[in-house]
Structure 1
């Protein structure tokens, strides 16, 4: 959920502005695809560790999360300044580590009856379908409708982050979310990040020039990674995991 501050800043920058980067999304797509492929590789590496050396997974998982948070802010800052040469290896490392941190959820999905590899594939397919559907909708939003949707999604993601933080804190004390609430939270997360995918096509061309394709790719990457996560969470919750 580390894209929240980035998302709010993008909306502030886009407010009242005309399109400044009509081709920025097209320029960002190869880098988005590369980042997702690296994430898949990182996930495979994490699954390999879980299966072969499960005792070291949790320490390395915690380390990956901490390093990933640091890399996000550093890489985002460097990319925003237009230093693509320095930002690219940072973003590549970030994508790999993101995959590693996803491997625990993917492993749980693979072990859950009714989800398995088909569920993981369904989540990935859902992201692809969302991209295809979001492009014509987001690209054709009026200024008024685009800003209204952007603000709504922004507030929804902030609220979702608060709920997830509450879940984490409660779990520390051994209090876990009931199944029906997990289904509701995951479904809301799916809806919000589907909305975020639509908003990307409205906000990003108004925020970044055509040469600022890396920060645009990072924004889209975070949207689809979070969408993938919440689709998987929803599938696991529906199939009886608390």
Structure 2
């Protein structure tokens, strides 16, 4: 996930307590919710496609879909940062749908390993985090907010390094992914819970009110990643952390 792009910039720029966009969070929230709904639609579309063409063929198709997914993210992010909201909105909507499509395999694996209830548990955990973060994240002092931002920044960097290292080492050490999956899933869950709080602190200090779609994109990615890591954690706890 390109989750860290907006967040990394937040880390660099949100060093002042001055609010550049006091209303940006409230403007962004409806679009975050809309993105999550579209993502759910993308998952349903992916599941229908998988049922019609088969699991193996769908795996190949979803791998190909990652290419336009990355392109859409960077194009939408660029338009949103420039407050070109008329262009950014349809790009973000398409990105959200495609995100759901690419997550279909993980969702199907979670249903197979832990049952359909696992999806509800992950969604509930994500929603509760959102509610708590929206209350306390806005009220964090500068000292707490900047300290948490720094900690999450280091954690994000460490997570990326660990995941890349495990992916490469997995070619030489059979079973490494299964051994480390629970730790990675747990660490990622904690990290993105922290990032949820940081989002509410950094957004009004980083984005102007007319850049609400840029803030919405960053927050959307936080909660999608949180949902993904909670699902991965559930799968790992059920002993189903195999890549196949």
Q: TM-score interval w.r.t. the shorter chain? A: over 0.9
The residue number in structure 2 matching 1:192 is: 191
Pairwise CA distance, 1:211: 1.6
Unpaired segments ≥5 residues, structure 2: none
Q: CA deviation at 1:166?
A: 2.3
* Corresponding residue number in structure 1 for 2:157: 158
Length, aligned pairs only? 240
- 1:96 is matched with 97
SS in 1 for 2:210: coil
**Unaligned residue ranges in structure 1 (runs of 5+):** none
Aligned position for 2:5: 5
Q: Which moved more, 1:150-159 or 1:135-144?
A: 135-144
Secondary structure in structure 1 of the residue aligned to 2:209: coil
What is the root-mean-square deviation in Å for CA atoms of aligned residues? Answer: 1.5
Stretch moving more, 59-68 or 161-170:
161-170
Pick closer, same or farther for the CA change 1:182–1:147 going to 2, 3 Å. Answer: same
Once the two structures are superposed, the pairs formed by residues 99-114 of structure 1 within 5 Å of their partners are 99-112=100-113
> Contact 1:49 / 1:56 at 8 angstroms: preserved in 2?
no
Are residues 164 and 178 of structure 1, via their aligned partners in 2, closer, same or farther at CA, if it must alter by over 3 Å? closer
Give the equivalent residue in structure 1 for 2:69. Answer: 68
Retained in 1: the 8 A contact 2:170–2:177?
A: no
- In the TM superposition, residue 17 of structure 1 has moved relative to its aligned partner by 4.1
Matches within 5 A, 1:231-242: 231-242=230-241
- Structure 2 CA distance for partners of 1:110 and 1:174, relative to 1, 3 Å: farther
1:59 aligns to what? 60
Question: What does residue 225 of structure 2 align with?
Answer: 226
Give the deviation of 1:38 after TM superposition: 0.8
How far is 1:45 from its partner?
1.1
| Structure 1 partner of 2:146 | 147
More displaced, 158-167 or 116-125? 158-167
- 1:177 is displaced (CA, Å) by 3.0
CA distance in 1, matches of 2:83, 2:127: 28
1:43-58, aligned counterparts within 5 Å?
A: 43-54=43-54, 55-58=56-59
Cα distance in 2 for residues equivalent to 1:105 and 1:177:
19
**Structure-to-structure mapping, 1:77-96, within 5 angstroms:** 77-96=78-97
Q: Describe how 1:11-50 pairs up with structure 2 within 5 A.
A: 11-50=11-50
> Hey, what's the Cα distance between the residues in 2 that align with 1:176 and 1:217?
38
- Between the aligned partners of 2:36 and 2:5, the Cα distance in structure 1 is 21
1:25–1:204 contact (8 Å) kept in structure 2: yes
Residue 90 and residue 174 in structure 1: after superposition, are their counterparts in 2 closer, same or farther (change >3 A)? farther
Q: 1:163, 1:11 → 2: CA distance?
A: 21
Other-structure match for 2:116: 117
Task: Tell me the CA shift for residue 188 of structure 1.
Answer: 0.6
Q: Measure how far apart 1:162 and its partner are.
A: 1.4
Q: TM-score, normalised by structure 1?
A: 0.94
CA distance in 2: counterparts of 1:174 and 1:47, whole angstroms:
33
